[in-house]
Amino acid sequence: MSGDVLVLGGGAVGLTTALVLAESGKRVRVWSRDPAGMTTSAVAGGLWWPYRIEPEKLVGEWSLESLRVYEALSDRPEETGVRLVPGVHADTRLAGLGPWAARVEGLREVGPPELPPGFSSGLRARTPLIDMPVHLGWLLRRLEAAGGTVEAREAASLAQARSESGASVVVNCTGLGARELVPDPSVRPVRGQLVVVENPGVEEWFTAVDHASSATTYLLPQPGRLLLGGTAEEDSWDLEPQEATAAAIVERCARIRPEVGRAKVLGHRVGLRPARDTGVRIESERLPGGALLVHNYGHGGAGITVAWGCAQAAAALVG
């Protein structure tokens, strides 16, 4: 058992990290409190973009590394859930982004002629838009093909996980759970609510962030549905969809595409983004007894955006 790695957390970051480790030759097990389809990752919008994530000096490279993986996976969208879809980030300029933006092919500034009424600037790009339930299923299958296993099990403590698993390395990808497990009180929820509707013909994604409030506006066309958002409510643990919030989301999105206001509602989703005051934590320490502990958590609203880059960084600490 001395060569085993135990990964805690079965969301996108945990599964991607486990997969990278398994395909490097490690014997990997994943403990996940919830099935992949019940994690925060499963309700994420799935648009690649470094949103609500720090530290900026590292996020760019992690994002680009992940982007290259998703570009390759987009050749098999039905299998991997990854498609390259054009769209616009309104009220965003290249000058406000880091050096990474210059390495995103086709990313360009646009003016009013290419924007909905009321917006004066924005960025157009063709980026990965990931159908998260499909992608999580693909990650699970590929992990299993690499010899990894997933158990429905929650760690009571890091030391207990090490002791009961017998693993020589524990990798902590527990997201919001790290607040209590580590414990790390700087990990905080940022609540996101969205509405799922029948797609009335929207083919491109659109986002606009209101930095003065918790409201955001986005339309994300996924196969068989359209995701409308959203919210970014800091320190809210409420997992129940709020009717008034849903109505406001549909109203904002209908200003962008009026036909959305008449679309049939298919469902509502709520997820808690695992933000961390000082940004993503990827570092190692020793557990009592000498076992290696590697942390990979605090990805905020961009876990899928940096998943592969962070997985590689964490795997490098495992060795």
Annotation-wise, does 76 bind a ligand? no
Annotation-wise, does 120 bind a ligand? no
Structure tokens at 28: 């990997």
Rounded-to-integer distance, Cα 220 and Cα 204, Å: 7
Could you tell me how far CA 22 lies from the centroid of its own chain? 21
In sequence order, which residues have a C-beta less than 8 Å from that of residue 72 and are 6 or more positions away?
A: none
Annotation-wise, does 319 bind a ligand? no
Rounded-to-integer distance, Cα 121 and Cα 106, Å: 16
**Could you give phi then psi for residue 99, rounded to 5 degrees?**
-60, -25
Annotation-wise, does 74 bind a ligand? no
Annotation-wise, does 303 bind a ligand? yes
Annotation-wise, does 218 bind a ligand? yes
Annotation-wise, does 40 bind a ligand? yes
Rounded-to-integer distance, Cα 269 and Cα 18, Å: 27
Beta strand pairing call for 169-172 and 4-8: parallel
Annotation-wise, does 302 bind a ligand? yes
Residue by residue, DSSP assigns 48-105 as -S--S---HHHHHHHHHHHHHHHHHHTTSHHHH-EEEEEEEEET--GGGS-GGGGGST
Annotation-wise, does 301 bind a ligand? yes
Helix axes 12-23, 132-145, angle to 10 degrees: 30
Annotated binding site: 40-41, 174, 218, 273, 300-305
Annotated binding site for FAD: 40-41, 174, 300-305
Annotated binding site for D-dopa: 218, 273, 301
